A and B are shown apart, each in its own frame.
Chain A
Amino acid sequence: MIVDKNKKSTNFILFIVLIALAFIFLAPIFIVLMNSFKSKLFISSEPFTFPTTDTYSGGDNYISGAEKIKFFSAFGYSLFITVLSVLAISLVTSMLAWYVTRVKTKFTSFAYYLLVFSMIVPFQMVMFTMSKTANMLHLDNPIGIIVLYVGFGAGLGTFMFSGFIKSIPISLEEAAMIDGAGPVATFFRIVFPMLKATAITVAILNTMWVWNDYLLPYLTIGTEYKTIPVAIQYLRGGYGAVDMGAMMAMLVLAMVPIIIFYLSAQRYIIRGVVAGAVKG
């Protein structure tokens, strides 16, 4: 049992190491929070100290920052676009995945390969032509951009749903159809309920992507409708110095919803990421 005793003391040392690491991981968030309450002049001169009576600026940074970038409307656009895009991607790609998996033709297998291929193509490849196309088709508004998100999310969604659909026995669907259910009823009553776990994974991966996405909304709707990442980068402005006070406050406001989302759905998020990675 000497081994066990050894193991206990090693584990204790490792526990201390982990606590130190946890502090290091949390420090950046804490530093931003601390600085968001200092007036802007002190953020660059003493970034690692607590606010003192001299440097403390109360909620000034929050008020001026939120005004400058219209934070609350940015939050509204981000929320609207993210929620609707994620719902649309989950529904549309699960239907598409069922179709391409169950209907075996040259066309469907070609479409499937194109969709999978689209996952590794960098956004810069299509960025310019896509924003022109979106403009011509009048998709450059908070509703139209959902179509674009469905298009870019189609690869991953179809790939993941199709991977799961291949594993469910086709006999269930055949039985339903023999009992007189049409394809629509078969999909929505039999197949879709079984896709729940995959749908959660797809929804989580897409939420993380759409909520944080910068370039697509910047290029298509950025001048008129700013989502949170676009609004934050907008603080950089033209050539003048960046108002770091407002920046810190807006970074805090941008992180709060993500951290709340994370802490409330943590189990699903980590499980979803693992499931997504293993299939991807």
Chain B
Amino acid sequence: MQKSIRKYFALFALPGLVAFAVAFLIPMVMGIVLSFAKFSTVTDATFTGFDNYRKIFIDKEFITALWFTVRFTVVSVVSINLGAFALAMLLTRSIKGTNIFRTIFFMPNLIGGIVLGWIWQVIINGVLLPKGVTIVSDPKYGFWGLVVLMNWQNIGYMMVIYIAGIQNISHDLIEAAEIDGAGRWTLLKSVIIPSVMPSITICTFLTLTNGFKLFDQNLALTAGDPGKQTEMLALNIFNTFYGRTGFEGVGQAKAVLFTIIVAAIALTQLRLTRSKEVEA
């Protein structure tokens, strides 16, 4: 069978592989090569070794953006997952109207990042109005604004994943624990959380990588203001490429570094939480 399928390589595999090569693979290889070069249009590249990587750190921009991104991601991963898990627990208790609540909580997730950013800009500016300031007056407003925005957008999504996990726990297991006299906390700690470990892995992975890669929401909510202090990594890279002439190579080097950071975090996290799954 393999042999006869192989004859149809051009029909089955080629279209997908060509699109993948054009959109991702070739640009990826070019990107890695160009991170070691000075260029402005790809074709005028001259090799400069590690110069671009050194230039990443000539100003504090990248480090500021990295630090902002890390703080933002940690806070939002924790808050989104706690919020989503709590809602999932509430919505698996056979309370009236569960489906309607689930529908409402999930809805913000379908709204795109740009639209979300503008919605929250108006609301946060409205809340800050009595103080006579706006969201770009102080970086802490932008920070907490982004956290609230991400919670609003992602809690419902993670909630449906947790609900699926909780519903998979067998009733026998919970009954057995109750008969053994397990209180509510023991039940949560020793039965429910270990059983939903796979959901925790997925939700942590999704919130972690979404948080690190965040771009649209950042652009629409504050665009990095005041003075680049709320600029996250993705936006900083974008601005390095398109906002500073002569810095295309530095932008590309930042992008390579960013990719390595994201891949390292994602793989470490998967390994860590997956190992907990086995224990459970």
Contact = CB atoms under 8 A, between A and B. Distances in A.
A25 B213 contact: no
B140 to A, nearest CB: 21
Interface string B72-96: 0000000000000001001101111
A262 B111 CA distance: 10
B29 to A, nearest CB: 9
A22 B107 CA distance: 11
A124 B258 contact: yes
B13 interface: yes
A126 B31 contact: yes
B206 interface: yes
Contact of A18 (B20, B95, B216, B254): B95
A52 B22 CA distance: 54
Interface residues of A, number: 97
* Chain B interface mostly: helix
A21 interface: yes
Given A122-B234, A258-B110, A229 B101 contact: no
B2 A103 contact: yes
Contacts of A21: 87, 101, 105
Interface stretch (B50-58, B123-131, B185-193, B271-279): B123-131
A43 to B, nearest CB: 7
Contacts of A43: 122
Interface stretch (A60-68, A69-77, A195-203, A209-217): A209-217
Interface in A151-188: 151-152, 154-155, 158, 170, 173-174, 177, 182-184, 187
A95 B12 contact: yes
Interface in A113-164: 114-115, 118, 120-130, 132-134, 137, 139, 147-152, 154-155, 158
A280 interface: yes
A98 B12 contact: yes
Contacts of A120: 209, 262-263, 266
A147 B5 contact: no
Contact of B22 (A47, A127, A139, A259): A139
B16 A183 contact: no
A278 B163 CA distance: 12
B143 interface: no
A87 interface: no
Contacts of B23: 126, 130, 134, 147-152
B12 A183 contact: yes
A22 B104 contact: yes
Nearest to B108: A25
Contact of B220 (A184, A233, A274): A233
Contact of B115 (A98, A215, A229): A229
8 contacts: A14-B90, A14-B95, A130-B23, A214-B216, A214-B219, A215-B238, A232-B118, A258-B111
Interface of A: 11, 14-15, 17-18, 21-22, 25-26, 28-29, 31-32, 35, 43-45, 47-48, 92-93, 95-96, 98-100, 102-104, 108, 111, 114-115, 118, 120-130, 132-134, 137, 139, 147-152, 154-155, 158, 170, 173-174, 177, 182-184, 187, 208, 211-215, 228-229, 232-233, 236, 244, 247-248, 251, 254-255, 258-259, 261-263, 266, 269-270, 273-274, 277-278, 280
Interface of B: 1-2, 4-9, 11-13, 15-17, 19-28, 30-31, 34, 41-42, 87, 90-91, 93-97, 100-115, 118-120, 122-123, 125-126, 129, 152, 156-157, 160-161, 164, 198, 202-203, 206, 209, 212-213, 215-216, 219-220, 223, 233-234, 237-238, 241, 248, 251-252, 254-256, 258-259, 262-263, 266
